[in-house]
Amino acid sequence: MALISKEGPLHQQMRQWRRDLHQHPETAFEEHRTAAKVAQLLTSFGLEVHTGLAGTGVVATLQGELPGLGSIGLRADMDALNLQELNTFEHCSTNQGKMHGCGHDGHTAMLLGAAKYLSQHRNFSGSVVFIFQPAEEGEAGAQVMCEQGLFEKFKVDAVYGMHNWPGLEAGQFAVHSNAVMASMDVFDIKITGQGCHGGMPHLGVDPVVVAGQLISSLQSIIGRTLNPLESGVVSITQMQGGDAYNVVPDSVTLSGTCRAFSASVQELLESRMRIQVTNICEAFGARGELDYRRVYPSTINDPEHANICATVTSALVGADNVQLDPAPSMGAEDFSFMLQQRPGAYIWIGNGSSEGGRGLHNPHYDFNDEILPLGAQYWVNLVQSQLSENDTTA
8 A C-beta contact, residue 113 and residue 122: no
Q: Kindly indicate which of the ranges 23-31, 58-66, 94-102, 304-312 contains the residues binding Zn ion, using the contact rule CB under 5 A.
A: 94-102
| Residue of this chain nearest to Zn ion (CB atom) | 102
Q: Kindly indicate which of the ranges 96-104, 181-189, 285-293, 307-315 contains the residues binding Zn ion, using the contact rule CB under 5 A.
A: 96-104
Q: Is 80 in the site for Zn ion (CB under 5 A)?
A: no
How many binding residues for Zn ion (CB under 5 A)? 1
Q: Kindly indicate which of the ranges 32-40, 63-71, 101-109, 246-254 contains the residues binding Zn ion, using the contact rule CB under 5 A.
A: 101-109
What is the C-alpha to C-alpha distance for residues 254 and 237, in angstroms, rounded to an integer? Answer: 8
Nearer to Zn ion, 141 or 249 (CB): 141
* Least distance between Zn ion and beta carbon 24 (Å): 17
**Measured torsion, CA atoms of residues 87, 92, 95, 97, in degrees rounded to the nearest 10:** -20
Q: Kindly indicate which of the ranges 20-28, 99-107, 186-194, 269-277 contains the residues binding Zn ion, using the contact rule CB under 5 A.
A: 99-107
Nearer to Zn ion, 161 or 344 (CB): 161
Single out the residue of 102, 254, 332, 387 in contact with Zn ion (rule: CB under 5 A): 102
8 A C-beta contact, residue 332 and residue 179: no
- The residues near 328 (Cβ < 8 Å, ≥ 6 apart) are 176, 179, 180, 181, 182, 261
* Least distance between Zn ion and beta carbon 79 (Å): 9
- The residues near 186 (Cβ < 8 Å, ≥ 6 apart) are 255, 256, 257, 258, 292, 293, 295
From residue 72, give the alpha-carbon distance in Å to each of 102, 128, 147, 156, 383: 25, 5, 19, 5, 8
* Least distance between Zn ion and beta carbon 27 (Å): 11
Q: Kindly indicate which of the ranges 49-57, 64-72, 102-110, 269-277 contains the residues binding Zn ion, using the contact rule CB under 5 A.
A: 102-110
8 A C-beta contact, residue 296 and residue 140: yes
Nearer to Zn ion, 102 or 214 (CB): 102
**Measured torsion, CA atoms of residues 232, 327, 175, 270, in degrees rounded to the nearest 10:** 0
* Least distance between Zn ion and beta carbon 37 (Å): 19
Interhelix angle 104-120/32-44, nearest 10 degrees? 20
* Least distance between Zn ion and beta carbon 107 (Å): 8
**Measured torsion, CA atoms of residues 192, 194, 197, 200, in degrees rounded to the nearest 10:** -110
Q: Kindly indicate which of the ranges 86-94, 98-106, 184-192, 233-241 contains the residues binding Zn ion, using the contact rule CB under 5 A.
A: 98-106
Q: Of the candidates 174, 169, 183, which has an alpha carbon nearest to the alpha carbon of residue 325?
A: 174
* Least distance between Zn ion and beta carbon 81 (Å): 6
Nearer to Zn ion, 78 or 383 (CB): 78
Q: Which residues are at the interface with Zn ion (CB under 5 A)?
A: 102
